[in-house]
Amino acid sequence: MSFQKWKKVMEEEAKRGRGRPKSWDDKGQQNTIKSLDRALEVLVALGEMQSATLSQIAGELGQSPATIYRVLSTFQGRGFVDFDEHAQEWCIGPAAFLTGSHFLRRTSLVERARPIMRELMQNTGETANLGIERDGMVLFLGQVETHATIRAFFPPGTASAMHASGIGKALLCRMDDKRQRQVLAAGQLEAFTPHTLTDPEAMIADLRAAKARGYAFDGEERNIGMRCIAAPVFNVFGEVVAGISVSGPTARITDDRIDTLAADVMVAAARLTRAIGGNSRPPG
């Protein structure tokens, strides 16, 4: 064996030693555990249902109650699900939250955003939010709530439709046209309120306007009585990676406050972009 060939073999072995076998890029069935996949399907479904009886979960997934019970009992033993004896319902347990929270800590985005969001909330008097795009939805990573009695609430891990979200539109308006249309075409533009934009062309026009002015606006498009103003956050390559926003009731986010609030949000987004080493791009 020549030295060069030996060196190549050693390099490949070193790469495999980092945690992936030789066929790591093979997504075939031999590299998946079917029983684990089914079990995780149960956990994901329960998370979406929030709480449910055994028969409800089994019916939702089309599996036998006996199979679902074994899965739930296994997860319960690890703290991933809890069982309410009184209501006879299952729900997500603390271990699932703790495991999911590692996702938030794997990047400096959430950590860097926290003080900026806190200051944004103090300056505006409204709840500050941080979100990213995940599988065509907005995934909320963090929130700093206002002290006001009436306020928006998007706990970390909440997913929302992009077309009816301030952060969603802030992300969409900075995507290239192809990706933008892919996200919008992935599912029907559901009408959550009479104000929701459900026509793709109207949505694209709204996104162009958002890009031009530097911020996106959700005017009761997801929830009646609530408004949201959001701006994009960029990485080092100038790619949009997150959105930051303020949200609150229409009684406080009035027409005459929009420009002032938008300026605060855009400043916060620019600060977060710089904090993660990103490269802001001017509107347009």
Q: What CATH class has 3-94?
A: mainly alpha
Domain ranges of the chain: 3-94, 101-275
Q: What CATH class has 101-275?
A: alpha beta
At 33-75, the pLDDT tens digits run 888 888 999 998 998 888 899 999 999 999 999 999 999 999 9
At 110-163, the pLDDT tens digits run 889 999 999 999 999 999 999 999 888 999 999 999 887 776 777 778 889 999
Which residues of the chain form beta strands (DSSP E)? Answer: 51-52, 81-84, 89-92, 127-134, 137-144, 159-161, 216-219, 226-234, 240-249
Dist CA 70 CA 143 (whole Å): 36
At 204-233, the pLDDT tens digits run 999 999 999 999 999 999 999 999 999 999
Amino acid in position 44: V
